[in-house]
Structures are given as structure tokens and as C-alpha cells.
């Protein structure tokens, strides 16, 4: 999708229960019981779960060596018995693999690749290299280690995997914009990873997109600096809307000379950009996140007191 005319490559529309492969392409799972709990709860929900060889492994900061983690990605991509490939956790590590990841293999199988945080790089690379839609959503050892019956994010992801059109619950949030409807490709993820991918072959050239961003443990001035990386690279000028998700623990530090807050950042970009900049998008490093089809189509309807989003064209 470096070429904006590249058609979407879509994962298969599924019926529940799913066959789920678990991989740890970034950091190691710190508490093995979290991974085992996720497997237990997914199995109790009727799904078949197969952890990759290194899903519960540990080597330095990572779940395995670069070769180990690449092997798990390749194995998951080519295993005909798997429908959904889900990361166990994020952290750091995918940057080391980007030039060796088998992007075409990952797209050819029609599988649904799911994760967030460091997994943002997988979403971006798949979209840039193959046009493949993937899903920003829950990760096993982070989000699914308790009963799934009331897990809103898991249920929303399940709807995206099984239904052709899904709408997010309406978002109530103040904004200065008149009522309007905007349609385009929905994409984005963790802001620090979007900035890291800028200027690389793995940054998709999305035209007329709806970009969502989120992050964790970044001071507001750093968030603004990361956004300016996208702005000066021309990425923001090609979008039609910017959605701020959850910025968890993103407060001015105790050593700040002046309490520059996220509200200051948002207001600055509302004055800078010629399209809506909205807050409250329900995704981020938080327990209550939903799921997003990266590279799918979105219809954003802005009303007086908030907005709503409908997703389509993300499976086949």
C-alpha cells in the first residue's frame, strides 16, 4: 500500500470458535501464569489455542533470539490450521525484525493478525508491503487473562472477525466542529511507533485516511514532538481526520518548567490542521480498549456532542 491505489488484501471472515496461534514477537511474558490464564479462558470460550514455540520463552529482554521470534512468525503465517494470530504482549523487539519479516507469506494465508503497542509495526508493515488489513486489539497475556464473558474488547474483536460491518459505540466528547461525515482508510496505533516507522519502507502511504493515535508513559511535549515528526514528513497533510485515543500516564513530569498538558497539544493541532482533531477514541494502553481494523474503511460521523464510527471492508 505504498502505492495508494493498491487494493486491500483482506483476511477471511470467520465463524466462532476460532483457531488461535499465540506469538511473542517482542518482549517476554513476565508472568507465565498470565499466558496460561489467557489460554485457559480462550479454551473455555470454545477456541483452539496453539502457542508458538517461543511464546512463553525468554532471552535477554525478548521472548527469544531474533531468529527464534522470526521462526514463530513464519510458522504461524504458514500453518494452515490457524485462523487468528495474536501477540501475547508488546514491549520492544519488532524493530529488530522488520527487514526479515515474511510480509507476503503473512498476507497470503488470509489470517487475522492481532495486537497493539509494539505490534503497531506489524500493522504498518503489512499495510505498506501487501495492503493487508490487520487488527489493533487485545493481546493474550495482557488483556485476556480473566473471564472473557464481560470483556468488551474481546467481544468487539470477535465481531470484527465474524461480521462484515461493525460500529463502535458512540463517543461523547466536546469538540469545536460542525456536523459532518468523513470516510477513509482507518489506520494508526502507538504514536511512538508511527514516528519510528516514518521514512522507512514499512510506513504506508495512506491518502485521505482517518488516523488514530495513542501512547503510554510519554510526557505531552514528547507527544507533540512525535506528532510534528508526522507533520513535517507530510503524513498529517494527507489525512482527513485525526483521532486521539488513550494516552495513559502521559502527564507533565515533576521537573517540567511549565505544566504543558495533552490539552495544549490537542489545541495546538486543532489550530494547525485543516480537518477535525477529535478525542476519546476508545483505544490505547488501557483495559477498556476496543479493536480497530487497520487498513479497513471507516465512516466517521461527527455530531454536536461527539462522534460515531462504522467499520467496513476489512474481511472477505
Catalytic residue among 214, 218, 219, 224: 214
* Whether the bond into 266 is cis, omega within 30 of 0: no
Out of 68-82, 168-182, 246-260, least confident range? 246-260
Structural domains in the chain plus CATH codes: 19-165 (3.40.50.10740), 166-312 (3.50.30.60)
Out of 30-34, 39-43, 148-152, 298-302, least confident range? 148-152
**Rounded Cα gap, residues 294 and 263, in angstroms:** 26
pLDDT bucket at 222, cuts 50 / 70 / 90: very high
- pLDDT of 7 reads 66
What does the pLDDT average to over 58-71?
98
Is the pLDDT at 5 greater than 70? The verdict is: no
Beta-strand pair 165-167/306-312: antiparallel
Confirm whether 117 is a catalytic residue: yes
Q: Is 96 exposed, middle or buried (0-12, 13-18, 19+ CB in 10 A)?
A: middle
Could you tell me if 147 and 167 are in contact, meaning their C-beta atoms sit under 8 angstroms apart?
no
Considering the chain, what is the average pLDDT of its residues? 96
At 83-102, the pLDDT tens digits run: 999 999 999 999 999 999 99
Catalytic residue among 117, 134, 158, 192: 117
Confirm whether 285 is a catalytic residue: yes
Amino acid at each position: 500500500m505504498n502505492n495508494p491505489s493498491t487494493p486491500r488484501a483482506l483476511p477471511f471472515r470467520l465463524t466462532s470458535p476460532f483457531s488461535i496461534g499465540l506469538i511473542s514477537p517482542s518482549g517476554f511474558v513476565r508472568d507465565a501464569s498470565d499466558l496460561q490464564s489467557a489460554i485457559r479462558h480462550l479454551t473455555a470460550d470454545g477456541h483452539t489455542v496453539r502457542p508458538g514455540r517461543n511464546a512463553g520463552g525468554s532471552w535477554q529482554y525478548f521472548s527469544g533470539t531474533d531468529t527464534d521470534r522470526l521462526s514463530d512468525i513464519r510458522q504461524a503465517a504458514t500453518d494452515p490450521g490457524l485462523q487468528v494470530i495474536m501477540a501475547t504482549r508488546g514491549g520492544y523487539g519488532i524493530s529488530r525484525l522488520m527487514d526479515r519479516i515474511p510480509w507476503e507469506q503473512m498476507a497470503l494465508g488470509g489470517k487475522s493478525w492481532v495486537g497493539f503497542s509494539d505490534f503497531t509495526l506489524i500493522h504498518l508493515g503489512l499495510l505498506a508491503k501487501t495492503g493487508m488489513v490487520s487488527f489493533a486489539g487485545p493481546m493474550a497475556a495482557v488483556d485476556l487473562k480473566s473471564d472473557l464473558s464481560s470483556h468488551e474488547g474481546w467481544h468487539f474483536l470477535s465481531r470484527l472477525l465474524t461480521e462484515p460491518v461493525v460500529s463502535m459505540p458512540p463517543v461523547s466528547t466536546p469538540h469545536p466542529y460542525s456536523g459532518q461525515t468523513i470516510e477513509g482508510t482507518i489506520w494508526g496505533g502507538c504514536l511512538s511507533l508511527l514516528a519510528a516507522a516514518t521514512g522507512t519502507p514499512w510506513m504506508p502511504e495512506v491518502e485521505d485516511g482517518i488516523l488514530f493515535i495513542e501512547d503510554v508513559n510519554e510526557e505531552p511535549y514528547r507527544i507533540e514532538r512525535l506528532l510534528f515528526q508526522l507533520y513535517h514528513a507530510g503524513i498529517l497533510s494527507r489525512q482527513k481526520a485525526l483521532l486521539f485515543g488513550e494516552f495513559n500516564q502521559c502527564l507533565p513530569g515533576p521537573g517540567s518548567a511549565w505544566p504543558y498538558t495533552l490539552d495544549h497539544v490537542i489545541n495546538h493541532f486543532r489550530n494547525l490542521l485543516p480537518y477535525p482533531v477529535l478525542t476519546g477514541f476508545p483505544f490505547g494502553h488501557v483495559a477498556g480498549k476496543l479493536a480497530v481494523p487497520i487498513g479497513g474503511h471507516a465512516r466517521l460521523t461527527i455530531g454536536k456532542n461527539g462522534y460515531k464510527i462504522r467499520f467496513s471492508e476489512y474481511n472477505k
